[in-house]
Structure 1
Amino acid sequence: MSEDNGAKIRYRIRHLTEYRYSNNVAVCQNQVRMQPVSGGNVTCERTELKIAPEPTSRDEHVDYFGNRVITFSIEAIHKSLAVDVESVVAVAANPTDDKTQSPNWESLLATSPDQMRHPKIDEHRFGSPRITPAETFRQYAESSFTPQREIVDAALDLTRRIHDEFKYDTTATTVETTTKEAFSLRAGVCQDFAHVEIACLRSMGLAARYVSGYLRTLPPPGKERLVGADESHAWVEVYAGDEIGWLGLDPTNACLVGTDHIPVCIGRDYDDVSPMRGVVLGGGTNTLKVSVDVEPIADV
């Protein structure tokens, strides 16, 4: 994980998505959420999205959560689609660590939905398309959230428990697996672990949101980094009070979020931040190839 020392780390990120179809596609329409935006500890220096074939129409907007969204359509016969995003970002170290003094978690509870103090925060206390707070999740979380325990300590303990008690297994779940199913399986991938932790936090009455982005991976000692071997990643943010703000937690890696984590989109759950979604007319069967490369670069 990161060795946060107050400095920034600059990255060049390339995310290439390629579809190949067995039959002709007459029309396709897609939305893309793969471009970072500046905010928090991240500065997006530049970002460019290339699409092949050339779209018939292309529009851009910022969604409710502040994510950059490109919508495009291709109204011409094609048998392949490539979406290539390249960005340069700078990620600053987060001064928060597991020794940071923070408020106790009970002080962060909303009194009621009718007395929201910060609507943009408090809306993340409630259910969303993929996450429904429930007593099962509350019971799992409560051993971490003991009375008067500081929010950083309690949330990090929950993060580590999910890492220790759930198995990382790419075959156990799919993108459609529900949070309840992943919790019962005690297995899955980063998306599942993030959903489970958010469900636990919201079931305790806390505000928690889903973050999608990238994680720099380090090769074994003496080995070269593999281009395209980095991955899209997902983690969690819990609101930890006005002084700390949103605290990043990575249950897949049992850690606080650091400079190895590069956020791209935030939302209530995966449905709000899916990197690419769309519909096609025709196409038959398709094959999908995704390549992500996260490269630290020097200042110039």
Structure 2
Amino acid sequence: MHLSVAHDTVYDYRPAVETAQHTAHLQPRDTALQRVLAFDLQVSPTPDNLRQGQDAFGNPQAWWTLAQAHTQLRVVARSTVQTAPPLDLQGTQPWEAVREHFRYRSGQPGDAQTCFVFGSHHAPLNEAFAAYARNCFGPGRALQDAATALMRQIHSDFEYASQSTDVHTPALDAMQARRGVCQDFAHIQIACLRSLGLAARYVSGYLLTQPPEGQARLVGADASHAWASVYLPELASSPCGGWLDLDPTNDRCGFGAPGEDYVVVAWGRDFADVSPLRGVLQGGQSHTLKVGVSVEPMA
């Protein structure tokens, strides 16, 4: 599938911002199932310098400085991406064995994905998360089956409610309220998996805005989307590196991506690692934000 992605962000400031430094995760990454054919980033006002590279997780990242006063910042990212269907893999390793895989053993080499076992700001370790997940993680159950069951449990138990939370809402609060948006559901799934001693990461991306004829429109298709993924060490040598993607918002999962209609932008420990756009400003004490996202198939 060939997809055209447009992500338009506009900040209006009052009073003017005197100087600013920004970083962005807006360029999709190349993966086993995804190839970026073109990418263009336009920033207005024109930055004094703009650099592009990679962050600590290998995600494409941009940095720039604005030294002139401005009352508006507009960032437009356009991408052309080729995607493929998820890989057909089946993991059978019991979840307890995977948990033991991450235990520290003196003199033994560790797994590089162990960094995703530890709690993070938006997906902390907490017994409440473990308790919520335990009925999906029976003795000896394969991690792939258990993690998928947890995804479906979150999808069933939680209400998608636009603007019911924001980036600062703790995952525990969203879990107790049983409502939120895709970001909350991803953080809850990740926190549940980590609280059981498993490796899980946060994935940011996009969904096809208008589905093919006869298919339902997915929730979250009019903005940036987010989902979780869990690591299966037994499949580490596969093209997806052993990561099973889980979208509790839409009850979709797959190795490499939840579906061909998903675009992967970045992954990290939680939202804080892969925020689409963030900055440090001097001035601009108040602002309004407008974001528009479209993902369209190309002929």
Q: State the TM-score, normalizing by the size of structure 1.
A: 0.88
Partner of residue 103 from structure 2, selected from 100, 112, 136: 112
Name the count of aligned residue pairs: 285
Q: 1:51 aligns with which of 29, 43, 55?
A: 43
The answer as to 2:132 corresponding to 1:131 is no
Counterpart position of 1:5: none
Match of 1:210 among 202, 205, 211: 202
Partner of 2:222: 230
Residue 246 in 1 paired to residue 243 in 2? yes
Contact in 2 for aligned 1:31/1:278 (Cα 8 Å): yes
3-state SS, counterpart of residue 233 of structure 2: coil
2:29 alignment partner, one of 25, 37, 40: 37
Show CA shifts across 1:255-275 (max 9, x none): 211112111010001110111
Counterpart residue type for residue 153 of structure 1: D
- Residues 96 and 118 from structure 1, CA distance in 2 versus in 1: closer, same or farther, beyond 3 angstroms? farther
The answer to whether the 8 A contact 1:102-1:240 is kept is: no
1:292 maps to: 293
Does 2:144 align with 1:143? no
The match for 1:28 is 20
Provide the rounded CA distance (Å) in 2 between the counterparts of 1:180 and 1:140: 11
- For residues 24-53 of structure 1, the C-alpha deviation after alignment (integer angstroms, 9 at most, x for no partner) is 222111111111121231111121111111
Structure 2 residue matching 1:142: 3-state secondary structure: helix
CA distance in 1, matches of 2:230, 2:162: 26
1:113 match: secondary structure = coil
Alpha-carbon distance in 2 for matches of 1:96, 1:201: 22
In 1: Cα distance, 2:103 partner to 2:37 partner: 40
* Residue of structure 1 aligned with 2:68, choices 51, 72, 76: 76
Letter in 2 for 1:130: H
Provide the C-alpha distance between the structure 2 equivalents of 1:187 and 1:172, rounded to a whole number of angstroms: 7
Counterpart amino acid of residue 255 in structure 1: R
Q: CA distance change for structure 1 residues 294 and 220 in 2, over 3 Å: closer, same or farther? A: closer
Given that residues 209 and 296 in structure 2 are in contact (C-alpha distance below 8 angstroms), is that contact kept between their aligned partners in structure 1?
A: no
* Structure 1 residues 251 and 118: alpha-carbon distance in aligned structure 2, compared to 1, 3 A threshold: farther
Q: Percent identity over the alignment? A: 41
Rounded to whole Å, the distance in 2 between the matches of 1:117 and 1:88 is: 40
Amino acid at match of 2:251: A
The counterpart of 2:189, out of the listed 179, 184, 197, is: 197
* Alpha-carbon contact 2:186-2:226 (below 8 Å) kept: yes
TM-fit CA distance, 1:64: 0.8
AA aligned to 1:264 is V
Equivalent-residue separation in structure 2 for 1:101 and 1:272 (angstroms)? 28
Deviates more, 1:103-112 or 1:25-34: 103-112
For residue 276 of structure 1, report the CA deviation from its aligned partner: 0.5
CA displacement at 1:282 relative to structure 2: 2.1
Residue 266 of structure 1 is matched in structure 2 by 267
Cα-to-partner distance string for 1:66-99 (whole Å, 9 max, x where unaligned)? 11111111111222111010111111111237xx
1:114 shift after superposition: 4.4
Contact 2:91 2:234 in 1 (8 A): no
Tell me the alpha carbon deviations over residues 195-239 of structure 1, each in whole angstroms, 9 at most, x when there is no partner. Answer: 1000111111111000000011336969xx9xxx73200000101
Q: Contact 2:11 / 2:72 at 8 angstroms: preserved in 1?
A: yes
Aligned with residue 79 of structure 2, among 56, 63, 87: 87
* Cα pair distance change 1:61/1:220, threshold 3 Å: closer
Instruction: Structure 2: state its 5+ residue gaps.
Output: none
